[in-house]
Structure 1
Amino acid sequence: MEDAISKFHVAGAAIAIVKDGKIVHSKGYGVKSINTGEKVNEHTQFAIASNSKAFTAAALAILVEEGKLSWNDKVIDHVPEFKMYNDYVTQNFNIQDLLTHRSGLGLGAGDLMFFPDGSDFKMKDILTVFQYFEPQSAFRTKFDYDNILYVIAGEIIARTSGMTWEQFIQQRIFVPLEMDNSYASLGMIKNTANLALPHDEAKGKLKQLNSFNDMVNGAAGGIYSNVDDISQWMLMHLNKGKYGSDLKKHLFTEESQREMWRIHTVLEVSPSPRYNSHFAGYGLGWGVEDIKGTLCVSHTGGLPGMLSKTTMIPDLNLGVVILTNTAEGGAGLFEAVTQTVLDSYLGLDKLNWVERYSTMLQGMQNQSDDVTNKVWETVKKSSKQKVSTQDYVGVYEDRWFGKVEIFMKDKQLWFKSYRSPKLNGPMYFYKANSFAIKWEYQNMNADAFALFTLDEEGKAQGIKMKGISPGIDFSFDFQDLNFKRIDK
């Protein structure tokens, strides 16, 4: 862990390992904040981001067992307002479809409603937004990871149980498992003394970020927890839903466990002679694969400056969780250290995973930097070119994302979103009818192109967008936008 923190430039991290029903290691490394220098410990709370999805699946399993819903219930039977991109999909979309990333929508569709944080989109917007997207594959045929369908799952939990998703997770999962320092949202943390703060690396130096604001519910990624508490979560799963000192209590049945860990959406297997894997897929809130002839379930999580991974090998009665508070490098750390721990229990020869991931991440970063640097070099060369900025000024609207305005600010063309106020920034001429936008928001690498369509007089009539960097986070789904000019 110490080697990985140094190599991947991570501010702080924590790891816990459970084996044969016991916590065999639970410890913090590095600092919660580079500004305070306070140390991470096993109780330090991190945003676990998409590791929250497994809690949403477990909550639904509890409601299924109580007879309040069925996995195959149609979503519209519980949420009549729900509307997908065509009538057949709307009528047949069931609860498991919300959890399995096989909707036919593209990767991260609609995430721009919540990334960056601080937008004004509400549940009523989310329920009907899907009708405006172009499907990228046939329904239930292809895996494309999404977040906002999990938000719908959270709404079903709320409507079925009579309490918010956050209250349900707190009362029906955290309390019985004695996850006493875990919270279903940032807003529920009253004492933030042991909260890890997110960090990013800029020009070789770490900078501290603000914590990511809560979404309309946390079903896709809202939980804050620590490695000591996640150990209880892993132990319960490894005991097939049972918990407590004598394992007499159960959160859900073994049948529900099998349903969550069954492959619902098939994924391509990465050939690996080292692990001899034959299958991979997505269950309900968990990734599923085989390594060395045994089942492995895992999930990762990511928010600005917060990255995490939970992994279990049930046949070895083994679980590993790693939580980090640094973007980019955190992924290298959680992958490298998890692989090292798993290899030791699988009896494999030593491999320097830290070095391997460090080299790989650096290569990816260099490739991404090359692309973005060339774009900004082109912008610099184009700066002397005369551009009729007034042809682009105006108000434009996208059917799901709402209005944006292109206007002049201090002799500079500027972009601002009405509904997502952090999406604003100067626009620089690039080539032809395209501009590069440098967002004021720089907590994530999300600068984007604006590609204008012009009428016969050269006046802009519409805007399409795409990310500049090949390494842009998929949650900035600029490609799903199609703005039309609405001012006359």
Structure 2
Amino acid sequence: MAKLSEKVIKTIENEMKYWRIPGVSIAVIKHGKLWDSMGFGYRNFEEKLQVTADTQFGIASCSKSMTSALIAILVDKGILKYDEPVTTYAPKLVMYDPEAKSMNLRDILSHKTGFGAHDAIWPGERSRDELAVSLRFIKPCSNFRGKAIYSNVMYAMAGYVAECATGETWENLLQKYIFNSLNMKRTNCSVDIMKRDLNYSIPYRYRNGKVNPLKMWNVDLAGPAASVNSTANDMAKWLMMQIKGGKAEDGTALIQTETFKEMHSVQSQFEDSIGMGEGFFECNDYSMGWKRGKYKDHAFYKHTGKIEGYSSIQAFLPEDEVGVVILTNFHSPTVPFMYGVLYTILDEVLGEESENWIKKFHGEELPKEEEYLDCDLNYIKEEQVFGTHLSLLLNEYVGIYYDNGYGKVNIVLEDNVLYMRYRDMNLPLKHYHYDVFYVDDILADTMTITAPVSFIIKNGKVEAIAVRFEPMVPDIVFNRR
């Protein structure tokens, strides 16, 4: 029998219906123990297969806290040091910015490398070793140790540093030091493993008036940033370790006290994902894999996750021995749902005065179609010039183009339409003006991007293409091979 009140459960169910979320799994920790866990809705909407507390979901960027914990464990073992240049362990990991030659794990884990997003370079067929080598050719988005910029790529490199220092894969290290130690038997590091399970959730997004299943995305290249799959019950074990200051349920220390405190100490600041302002308990402090702040005067640590069709939030309040994890198989928008439900649960478990968080996050009118497009971005800034024409015949744009950082782009012609093949995508080019095209549906982390593709022509031949994969740096130029 559920321990959460009927009122809270009804709130969860109503919010799922409001946002059209297929499935949700939740675990609640109270007094440092698993207090309640349950599933709502469907892990497979088409076949009406129900979610349970043991259904696997992609936890996406909540994986970062696990990578940070792994680094802490290796620090305790004397294998790594937070403030040692990473090239000590991973000599190939050299950055474009010469100032970053002193880059260390503290910089990476607190998003202060200056590298920025560059999320269009993953996932892909490259190894993490090949990805590391490519970074020296990619311009950073900001100054080294300047403004913090969230970076999946650099978290992937934190896992790579651990691999170089130990001679073991990040996946095996996580299994050995965290999953096995916490008895997280239904947690793994690859969607390919999850798909073999009998109880996993299919990812969904709402588009064109209906809930649509999505292709399950293999993000193993950036695994240390985003590839862990887990269940509400397993994530409760993970949060209980956090509440206990780095100790497993049997009292065994996974992380030493001082290292645990260091991992959770404030290292940088950047804007919270809530984006709602005062009164919504935003946490703008970042430690190493965790956001931190206050919830109604209670010390509050959290991290969210989102990857193609999955959204999650994990939170714990160590002084109160309370924790909550919410896993969904829905893309976006999920911030109002996750925080509205999280705060509703916290008020009940903490004994705080109940607030109508749902009303604070949204009105009664159902969300419009455009609200489900909040992760769709348009990088085209130039005003379109109508009545212009291409300089060459379509087949003259065909070719293989290469950049040392981003890799290969293949332009092909099929049925009189040009396509851009990049990573695992095959996207039609649509003429914009002159020799500039654009492509829709570039997948870059949680975002779906529309970007211009400009063909650079000299002496009547295409020499290169410039693609706006990352708006914080000049367009990426791929030279024709």
- The alignment partner of 1:17 has SS state of strand
Question: CA 1:361/1:20 → structure 2, altered by over 3 Å: closer, same or farther?
Answer: farther
* Alpha-carbon distance between aligned partners in 2 of 1:180 and 1:215, rounded to the nearest angstrom: 20
Q: Which residue of 1 aligns with 2:428?
A: 426
The correspondence of residues 87-236 of structure 1 with structure 2, limited to 5 A, is: 87-90=98-101, 92-106=102-116, 108-109=117-118, 111-115=119-123, 119-189=124-194, 191-216=196-221, 218-236=223-241
1:408 alignment partner, one of 406, 413, 430: 413
Deviates more, 1:17-26 or 1:345-354: 345-354
Distance 1:395 1:211, change over 3 A: closer
Residue 263 (structure 2) pairs with residue 260 (structure 1): yes
CA spacing shift, 1:98–1:486, aligned 2, 3 Å: same
Deviations 1:68-118 (A, max 9, x none): 22211210110111111133312x111212211111123x22x22324xxx
The CA distance in 1 between the partners of 2:418 and 2:71, in whole Å, is 48
Q: Distance in 1 between matches of 2:279 and 2:99?
A: 44
Distance 1:364 1:257 in 2: 44
Letter in 2 for 1:294: H
Residue 54 of structure 1, CA deviation: 0.9
Give distance in 2, aligned partners of 1:341 and 1:214.
Answer: 31
Q: Which has the higher mean CA deviation after the structures are superposed, 344-353 or 167-176?
A: 344-353
Cα pair 2:110 2:287 within 8 Å, conserved: yes
Larger displacement relative to structure 2 (199-208 or 211-220): 211-220
Letter in 2 for 1:326: F
What residue is the counterpart of 1:290 in the other structure?
Answer: 294
Q: Give yes or no for contact 1:7–1:354 (8 Å, CA) kept in 2.
A: no
Structure 1 residues 56-71: aligned runs within 5 Å: 56-71=67-82
Q: State how far apart, in whole Å, the 2-side matches of 1:121 and 1:45 are.
A: 26
Residues 57 and 327 in structure 2, CA contact (< 8 A), matched pair in contact too = yes
Q: What is the distance in 2 between the residues matched to 1:360 and 1:257?
A: 45
Distance 1:44 1:254, change over 3 A: same
Give the secondary structure class of the aligned counterpart of 2:315.
strand
- Equivalent residues in 2 for 1:77-88, closer than 5 Å: 77-88=88-99
Q: Is 1:486–2:480 an aligned residue pair?
A: yes
How far apart are the structure 2 equivalents of 1:156 and 1:441?
26
Give the match's secondary structure for 1:446: strand
Letter in 2 for 1:322: I
| Residue 50 of structure 2 is aligned to residue 39 of structure 1 | yes
Contact 2:140–2:473 (Cα < 8 Å) also in 1: no
Conservation of the 8 A alpha-carbon contact between 2:203 and 2:308: yes
| Pair 1:19–1:428, CA change in 2 (3 A) | same
Match for 2:417: what amino acid?
Q
User: In the alignment, which residue of structure 2 is the partner of 1:471?
Assistant: none
SS at match of 1:32: strand
Shift of 1:299: 0.5
Is residue 452–residue 460 contact of structure 1 (8 Å, CA) maintained in 2? no
TM-score, length-scaled by structure 2: 0.86
Give unmatched runs, 5+ long, in structure 2. 1-11
Cross-structure match for 2:341? 337
> For residues 266 and 444 of structure 2, what CA distance do their matches in structure 1 show?
37
Count of residues in Structure 1 that have an aligned counterpart in Structure 2: 463
- How far, CA to CA, are the matches of 1:87 and 1:238 in structure 2? 40
1:473 is aligned to none
**Partner amino acid for 1:228?**
N
The 1:164/1:85 distance shift into structure 2, 3 A limit, reads same
The amino acid of 2:188's aligned partner reads: Y
How big is the shift at 1:187?
Answer: 3.6
Cα pair distance change 1:359/1:410, threshold 3 Å: farther
What is the alpha-carbon distance in structure 2 between the residues aligned to residue 459 and residue 161 of structure 1? 49
**Shift of residue 404 of structure 1?**
1.9
Residue 286 of structure 1, CA deviation: 0.7
2:3 corresponds to which residue?
none
Instruction: Indicate if the aligned counterparts of 2:206 and 2:372 stay in contact, CA closer than 8 A.
Output: no
Q: 1:120 to 1:255 in 2, by over 3 A?
A: same
SS at match of 1:219: helix
Cα distance, 1:262 vs structure 2: 0.7
Question: Is residue 166–residue 217 contact of structure 1 (8 Å, CA) maintained in 2?
Answer: no
Pairing of 1:233-248 with structure 2 (within 5 A): 233-244=238-249, 247-248=250-251
| Aligned with 1:8 (options 5, 19, 23) | 19
The CA distance in 2 between the partners of 1:372 and 1:103, in whole Å, is: 25
CA contact (8 A) 2:25 2:38 kept: yes
Give me the whole-angstrom Cα distance separating, in 2, the residues matched to 1:101 and 1:372: 23
Distance 1:445 1:198 in 2: 15
Q: Given residue 229 of structure 2, which amino acid in structure 1 is its aligned partner?
A: Y
Change (3 A) 1:445 1:385: farther
- Give TM-score, length-normalised by structure 1: 0.85
Q: CA deviation at 1:403?
A: 2.7
- Partners of 1:367 and 1:52 in 2: how far apart? 25
Shift of 1:401: 1.7
Residue aligned with 1:483, SS: strand
SS in 1 for 2:370: helix
State the 1:427 CA deviation: 1.4
Q: Tell me how large the CA RMSD over aligned residues is.
A: 3.4
